[in-house]
Amino acid sequence: MDTHQFLLALLLILLFARLFAEVATRLRIPAVLGELLAGVILGPSLFGWIEPVEALRLLAEIGIILLLFEVGLDVDVQKLARAGWRSAIVAIAGFVLPFVFGYGLTRHVFALGTLESLFVGGALTATSIGITVRVMRDIHVQNTREGQIVLGAAVLDDIFGVILLALLYEFATAGVVSLNNASKVGAFILVFFLIAPIAAKFMALVIGRLDHSTELPGLIPTAMVSLVLLFAWLAKEVGAPEMLGGFAAGLALSRRFFLPFGLSLRTDENLARRIEHQMEPIIRLFTPIFFVTVGLSLNLHAVDWHSSTIWLLTGGLLIVAVLGKLLGGLIVLSLPLASRTAVGIAMIPRGEVGLVFAELGRTSGMLSDETYAAILLVVAFTTLLSPLILKGFYARFSDAIHARSPHAHAHHGHDGDG
């Protein structure tokens, strides 16, 4: 793809993303659905105008990393810590149930191979942080109690998912499961999440000092993007997905983030505001590219629609995918039923990590074309339907959800475009 074609592709992506997101918003549908649809329309499923070439894939990756950075910036760590054990329950149940039932269904009902079934089960485990968060932002609930539980659980099950992926990959290539390796990867990730925010906060302080003394404009955008890229790179180095590094960096710079052990590297309010202000246009520019690319990756023509197996497999996996996460939410007995249901629904969308499972399974020869298509369809359906259900659910039951949490509030603060 030469420069000329690339500029046109990027132009079409930005334009269609905005157009469909705008229409979606006016129809009271989450904007992210509009952006996904833009991708489906531009991609091989309909017009076939744009291929997700490497350069677009890389921009999309930067988009999801920056989105997670912003999510981190928005996190209220104190609330997250209070939601901590609930997030853990939701994450563990929502990880184990789809994996076990996904494996069981594929292995024992559809009689596929053990490894193929493990990959299918794995693909159903991880909630898409990006899509879930975007949906919750769109309906302004990301800072409610339920939002914090879901975010924490989505972060945790992504980590679980990636560890499982490393394990299955090991299994697929070497023929044996190395529990030793898997625990090493897990330990690295744990250490990363303990150290990264402290390091990022320290660097932000240095950037803040430099910003006062430099004559050269543009320090904050280049330095902050560098910081985010550094942590994304480090995250991958220790075996986690790159976007978790973006999340860790954002978390550290959150105005509501405090270091443990009473350490007092407090970000000054003014710097935090300048960072948010200057990073916002960059984040808004890159994130739609990610969601459009997800739509571009779906090829509806690749599916043999006349086979009944594809429908049964897809239907079965979809039920597992939905019920698995729903039960994961309902299990948190200390919340009102409406809240538990909302948490369960919000956990349903699968995305990047599920697609990585499918892709890796296919390239390592573990998945048949049919199984691959079924996974993509489940990812697509959960992604397309859950926001609609969640939105409808909130429209009807938001009183019940907020009844016992008087301090929960929608945080619109810097969502406005100033």
Q: Which contacts of 299-302 are long-range, i.e. CB under 8 A and separated by 24 or more positions? A: 299/43, 299/44, 299/45, 300/40, 300/45, 301/44, 301/45, 302/44, 302/369, 302/373
* Region near a copy of itself per CB under 8 A, out of 96-104, 213-221, 323-331, 381-389: 213-221
Q: Is 242 exposed, middle or buried (0-12, 13-18, 19+ CB in 10 A)?
A: buried
Q: Rule CB under 8 A: choose which of 46, 230, 300, 400 binds a copy of itself.
A: 230
Q: Kindly write out the interface string for residues 113-142 of this chain, putting x where it contacts a copy of itself by CB under 8 A and - elsewhere.
A: ------------------------------
* Region near a copy of itself per CB under 8 A, out of 76-84, 214-222, 262-270, 369-377: 214-222
Query: Between residue 20 and residue 49, which ones bind a copy of itself under the rule CB under 8 A?
Result: 21-22, 25, 31
Is 27 in contact with 2 (CB distance < 8 Å)?
no
The answer to the question of residue 239 lying near a copy of itself (CB under 8 A) is: no
Q: Of 344, 290, 297, nearest to 321 (Cα)?
A: 344
Q: Rule CB under 8 A: choose which of 15, 179, 190, 319 binds a copy of itself.
A: 15
Q: Rule CB under 8 A: choose which of 173, 180, 217, 262 binds a copy of itself.
A: 217
The answer to the question of residue 55 lying near a copy of itself (CB under 8 A) is: yes
The answer to the question of residue 167 lying near a copy of itself (CB under 8 A) is: no
Compute the distance between CA of residue 183 and CA of residue 186 in angstroms, rounded to an integer: 5
The answer to the question of residue 11 lying near a copy of itself (CB under 8 A) is: yes
The answer to the question of residue 396 lying near a copy of itself (CB under 8 A) is: no
Compute the distance between CA of residue 132 and CA of residue 179 in angstroms, rounded to an integer: 31
CA dihedral 50, 59, 18, 153 (to 10 degrees): 120
Interface with a copy of itself: number of residues (CB under 8 A): 57
Q: Nearer to a copy of itself by C-beta: 218 or 262? A: 218
* Structure tokens that stand for 396 in this block: 């009807």
- For residue 234, what are the CA distances in angstroms to 68, 225, 238, 275, 311? 15, 14, 6, 22, 41
Is 20 in contact with 38 (CB distance < 8 Å)?
yes
Positions that interact with a copy of itself (CB under 8 A): 1, 3-4, 6-8, 10-11, 14-15, 17-18, 21-22, 25, 31, 54-55, 57-58, 61-62, 65, 210-211, 214-223, 225-226, 229-230, 232-233, 236, 242, 274, 277-282, 284-285, 288, 415-418
